[in-house]
Each structure stands twice: as C-alpha cells, then as structure tokens.
Amino acid sequence: MKKFNWILCGFLFAVFASCGYQFEGGGYINKDVTRVAVNILDNNSLQTEAGVVFTNALIREIIEKTDTAVVDESHATAVIKGTINAITFSTLSRSTTESVIERRVCAVLDLRLVNKDGEMIWSVKDFATDEEYTVSEDNIEDENNIRDAVEKIATRSAEKVISRMLNNF
C-alpha cells in the first residue's frame, strides 16, 4: 500500500508540474461537480496493477481536459467509483494452429459518479474498450506488449468516459 501511495503521489506531482497547455474545451465533468475524488478502481481481472493504471488514466484525463479539480475525497463534491469487471484476451491471427501472431485485449468497466450523499449522478455499465497487440516469443517482450496494450485501453477508456460525462450522456 505504501508503494502505491508513492506511485500515486509521484504521478500527481508529475501532472501538476507538467506544462499548463490545454486543448480548447474543458468545463466541469458535471454542472454541479467542481471538485472530484477518484477512488482506485476495483480490479476483478487477473491483470495486476490494472486498477491503478485505469485510475491514473481517469485522473490524468480530468486534469488535462476539464475544469474540475481532482481532490481528496474529504474535499470533493463528488466521487468517481468503479470496477474493472474483466480484461480478456482473444486471438486475432495465427501463423500456425499453435502459433499466435496477434491478440486483442478487451477491458470491461462499470463506473459511477456519486455525490456526497451517495446519490448517483452519472453511471455507465459494461463499458468496453479493446486494443490489439503483437505476440512475442520472448516472454518479457510479450508482457511489455500486454502492459502497453492495457495502458492504451486505460487511456482510451478515460478519454471516452470523461467525454461522455462532459456531454452529459
């Protein structure tokens, strides 16, 4: 847990110390949500650290693309909570019946935005995002390819979810 706290603190420091350039747009993720906390997503998948990866992607997207401040839960007007229900793998292409060349990784999430009273403001269920990656015979390289694909899914999911919140879908 201490290691995670240092990782999260380092990430938040890097985000706040980075360039202040923003794309046009912004706005609050919800009309009444000026400060939001993001709880670490529950991870029901077998991918270790996926909860942290997806949570950090959400935090990064909120900071970069909205006017909503990311704060501690005690100072928040709302909290984003959620679960990674599954991260699954499927074969896309093979060179032989036993040799896989490409795989698709798919993540399925449930997310909700709740106010201080625990009332639901916004939610999405079974939100799916996928990414393809090249399979390597080298186990270390293959694990890196999987990790990169999961990080891309986390970023893409965060972009789509925050966009939906901003547009009040």
pLDDT of residue 32: 79
Q: What is the DSSP string of the chain?
A: -HHHHHHHHHHHHHHHHS-----S----SBTTBSEEEEPPPEE-SSSTTHHHHHHHHHHHHHHHH-SPEE--GGG-SEEEEEEEEEEEEEEEEESSSS-EEEEEEEEEEEEEEEETTS-EEEEEEEEEEEEEEE--SSHHHHHHHHHHHHHHHHHHHHHHHHHHHHTT-
pLDDT of residue 25: 52
CATH of the domain spanning 2-14+24-166: 3.30.160.150
pLDDT of residue 167: 73
Question: pLDDT tens for residues 27-36?
Answer: 889 887 999 9
Domain ranges of the chain: 2-14+24-166
pLDDT of residue 1: 54
pTM beyond 0.85: the answer is: no
pLDDT of residue 30: 84
State which residues of the chain have pLDDT below 50. Answer: 8-9, 12-24, 169
pLDDT of residue 19: 47
pLDDT of residue 20: 46
